[in-house]
Amino acid sequence: MNLLNFRQIFAVYRKELIDALRDRRSLVSMFLVPALVIPVLMVGATAMAVKATKNARTEIPTVMIVGGADSPALRAALAADSRIKLVPFSSDYARLIDEKQLRAAVEIPDGFEAAVKAGQTPPTVIVYSYAGEIRSTFAAGEVKRFLENYRGGIYQEKLAALNLPKNFGQVFVVKDANVAPPEKVGGAAVGGFIPYLLILLCFTGAVYTAIDLTAGEKERGTMETILCSPVGRTELVLGKFLMVLTASLVSVACSFVSLGLTAALGVSFLARSGMGQGAAGAGAALPVSLSLPGLAGVCVLILPLAVLFSAVLFSVSLCARSSKEAQSYVTPLVFVIIMPAMVAMLPGVELNAKLALVPLVNVALVSKEMVSGNFPVGMIALIFASTCVYAAVALRIAVSLFKRESVLFRA
C-alpha cells in the first residue's frame, strides 16, 4: 500500500481554494448566504410573527351569544365588556367561525341564572372557537377570562351573604417554581432547533463546491487535464475533498457567528416588544440561556458530520455528467437530511443506546442535551466514534469512485 503524499494533497487543496476564492458564486455560497441571508430571513420571520401576534392581541374580537334568553344579567355583563364585541345571533355560527368571519361564540344553557342562584348542579357554558387559528384562540381566551371573573364575582357575593371571608374556599395556594437552571430551560426551548439548523447548514454549505469540483469539472472539460497532472488519484480526490469540507465548515462558522448575533438582537427585540414576559404578566421573563461548553461540544461533533456530508456529496456529484444532473441527485438528499435532524425537536424523543448509532439522529439528540448543560460522556464518545466510522466509510467510497474510469467518463 502506497503512502499518501501530503504535499500533493495540500497542493491540490491550495489550488482549489484559490480558485474558490476567485469564484464569486463560491464566495456567495460560503460567506454571504450563511452570514446574511439566513439571519435576515429569521429576523424577518420573527418580526412578522411578533407583529401578527400583537395585532391579534389588540384586535377586539367579534363574539356571538348562543341561547341565554333567560339569563339577562350574564348577557348584559358580556355586552358591557369592552374587550369583546358582540354581534347578532345567527344559527350558522359554526360556519362563520370556520370561515373566520366570526372569532368565537359562547353558548349559555337554558336556566343558567336560575341554576346558579339555586345552587344546583353547575350549568355548563360552551365556548366555540377555531382551534389553532390565532385570532379565534385569543377571542376564546377573552371569553373564558370574562367567565372566570363573572364566576368569581358570583362566588364572592355568596360568601358575603353568608358573612364568610373572601378566601373561604381557598383551602391552599398553588404556586409555580422553576428548579431547572437557565441552560436547561434554554435547551428545552430551542435546544432541538440549534442542531437541526447546524446540520442543515453543514450539508447545504458543501453542495455548490462539491458539484463544481466534480460534475462541474466534467462539464467544463477540465477533468482530463487534472488527471494528466503528476498527482496520484488518491491525493487528487483528497485535495478536492478538503476543499468541499472547508466550504462546509466555513458556512457553519459564518452561520454560527451571525446567528449568535441575530439571537442576541432577537432577545432584545422581544424584550422591548413585551413578547418575552411571563405568562403571569408579572413583567419578568423566564431566564433562558444556553450552555457555552455545550455549544462548543456541538461544534466538535459537527466536524465528523461535515466529513460525512462532504464525502457523500462528493460521491453523488461525481456520478453525474453535468452540474444540472448533479443538482437533481443532490436535491432529494436535503429531505433525507432534514427528517432525521428534526427528531430532536419532537417531544418525548430521548437519547438512548440504539439511537446513538443512527446517523444524524444521534448528533441531533446529543447536541440538544449538550446545549442544555447535560454531558452524557459515554453517549458522546459513542456518537463521535460512530460518526467518524461513517465518515471514513463515505470517504473511502469517494476515493474508490474517483479511481473508476466508468464514473469519471460517463457517456
What does the pLDDT read at residue 267?
A: 62
Mean pLDDT, residues 165-177? 79
Q: Which of 204, 213, 215 is nearest to 240 (CA)?
A: 213
Report which secondary-structure segment, H or E, holds 10. helix 6-22
Q: Rounded to an integer, what distance in angstroms lies between the CA atom of residue 254 and that of residue 261?
A: 11
Whether the CB-CB separation of 225 and 328 falls below 8 Å is answered with no
φ, ψ at 85 (rounded to 5°): -125, 115
Q: Rounded to an integer, what distance in angstroms lies between the CA atom of residue 152 and that of residue 142?
A: 15
What is the tens place of the pLDDT at every residue in 221-258? 888 888 888 888 899 999 999 999 999 998 888 877 87
Mean pLDDT, residues 207-227? 88
Burial of 76 (0-12, 13-18, 19+ CB in 10 A): exposed
Question: Which regions of 13-79 does DSSP assign to beta strands (E)?
Answer: 62-67
Mean pLDDT, residues 289-294? 76
Q: Rounded to an integer, what distance in angstroms lies between the CA atom of residue 153 and that of residue 54?
A: 29
The lowest-confidence range among 76-80, 137-141, 181-185 is 181-185
Per DSSP, what are the bridge partners of residue 62? 85
Residues carrying CATH 3.40.1710.10, the chain: 59-161
What is the tens place of the pLDDT at every residue in 6-48? 888 999 999 888 888 888 877 777 777 777 766 776 677 777 8
The lowest-confidence range among 61-70, 276-285, 319-328 is 276-285
Please state, for a pLDDT cut of 70, what percent of the chain lies above it. Answer: 88
pTM exceeding 0.85: no
Residue 10 C-alpha from the chain's centroid: 38
Cell 488518491 appears where? Answer: 234
Q: Which of 333, 324, 392, 390 is nearest to 357 (CA)?
A: 390
Q: Which of 299, 313, 269 is nearest to 194 (CA)?
A: 299
Per-residue confidence at 367, pLDDT binned at 50, 70, 90?
confident
Whether the CB-CB separation of 362 and 383 falls below 8 Å is answered with yes
Cell 383551602 appears where? Answer: 171
pLDDT exceeds cutoff 60 at 369 = yes
pLDDT exceeds cutoff 70 at 411 = no
The lowest-confidence range among 80-84, 91-95, 280-284 is 280-284
Q: What is the dihedral of CA 188, 192, 194, 195, to 10 degrees?
A: 140
The lowest-confidence range among 201-205, 261-265, 341-345, 398-402 is 261-265
Please tell me whether residue 8 adopts helix, strand or coil conformation. Answer: helix
Per-residue confidence at 289, pLDDT binned at 50, 70, 90?
low
Mean pLDDT, residues 180-187? 68
Mean pLDDT, residues 179-186? 69
pLDDT exceeds cutoff 90 at 88 = yes
Architecture of domain 59-161: 3-Layer(aba) Sandwich (3.40)
Whether the CB-CB separation of 314 and 214 falls below 8 Å is answered with yes
What does the pLDDT read at residue 269?
A: 59
Task: List own/partner pairs for 173-178 with CB under 8 A and 24 or more apart.
Answer: 178/286
Per-residue confidence at 161, pLDDT binned at 50, 70, 90?
confident
Whether the CB-CB separation of 100 and 136 falls below 8 Å is answered with yes
Helices and strands per DSSP (H, E), number in the chain: 17, 4
pLDDT exceeds cutoff 80 at 277 = no
Q: Which residue type occupies 196?
A: Y
What is the tens place of the pLDDT at every residue in 100-155? 999 999 999 999 998 888 877 889 999 999 988 889 999 999 999 999 999 988 88
Please tell me whether residue 390 adopts helix, strand or coil conformation. Answer: helix
Mean pLDDT, residues 333-350? 83
DSSP state of 344: G
All 3 cell numbers of residue 289? 440561556
All 3 cell numbers of residue 296? 462548543
pLDDT exceeds cutoff 80 at 395 = yes
What does the pLDDT read at residue 274?
A: 52
Per-residue confidence at 189, pLDDT binned at 50, 70, 90?
low
The count of other CB atoms within 10 Å of the CB of residue 208 is 26
What does the pLDDT read at residue 26?
A: 77
Q: Rounded to an integer, what distance in angstroms lies between the CA atom of residue 349 and that of residue 271?
A: 31
Whether the CB-CB separation of 326 and 317 falls below 8 Å is answered with yes
CB under 8 Å to 127, separation ≥6 — which residues?
A: 104, 105, 106, 107, 140, 143, 144, 147
